[in-house]
Copies of this chain bind each other. A is one copy, B any other.
Amino acid sequence: MQTIGTLGYALLGLLAREPLSGYDLAQRLGERVAFFWGAGHSQIYPELRKLERAGLVSHKRVAQKDRPDKKVHRITAKGRDLLARWVTTPYEPAPLKDELLLRVYSVWLAEPAQAAALLRGEEQRHRERLARYRGFEAQILEHWKADLDDARSPNFATWATLRRGLEHEKGYVAWLGWLAGVLERAT
């Protein structure tokens, strides 16, 4: 029995909610769920084959009119069990990596005005992300209100991760605004 990696659990976590094609999975890991994991399609397709060989997912080819065929992947009972057990497995956090913070660590060597411009651009990027997350939040509060105190509901779990994403973006925007302001005043 081969051990499955974090990407595998990311795919299983998405498939535990709904059957999806490799393309769909790549969309979610490239854009929508991007506040806690990410992957490109070139990593996803081979990983799906691996999960299938391990009996954790199965697929069915589905013909579509007006579009190419797709392979719809479904999680198996075995896959669901493995995923459920993984959630509470003891864990060591990976060191977090943030290239922008790393750049700021050396910002004292750069022109303050140039650095401030870069940071204002990032502030804008994170404001947009925050707005997008607030949009998700509004939809959740509108459609899933009843699930938000039910720990057994997938919608509750989505809500929980989104709350963290929202706080992260809020804090990041505030920090970027503060730092850009300091650098602008230093010119």
A interface size (C-beta, 8 A)? 71
Question: Chain A, 120-146, contact with B by CB distance < 8 Å: what is the 0/1 string?
Answer: 001001000000000000000000000
Q: Decide if A99 touches B88 in the complex (CB within 8 Å).
A: no
Chain B residues near A91 (CB-CB < 8 A): 99-100, 103, 118
Query: Whole-angstrom distance between the alpha carbons of A105 and B94 in the complex?
Result: 17
Question: How many chain copies does the complex carry?
Answer: 2
Q: Which of A62-96 contact B (CB under 8 A)?
A: 80, 83-84, 86-88, 90-91, 93-96
Chain B residues near A10 (CB-CB < 8 A): 102
Chain B residues near A156 (CB-CB < 8 A): 108
A172–chain B nearest beta-carbon distance, Å? 8
A44 at the interface (CB under 8 A from B): no
A-B contact pairs, 15 of them (CB 8 A): A6-B99, A16-B109, A36-B96, A87-B107, A87-B109, A88-B114, A91-B103, A101-B161, A104-B160, A105-B157, A107-B157, A149-B186, A150-B186, A163-B178, A167-B171
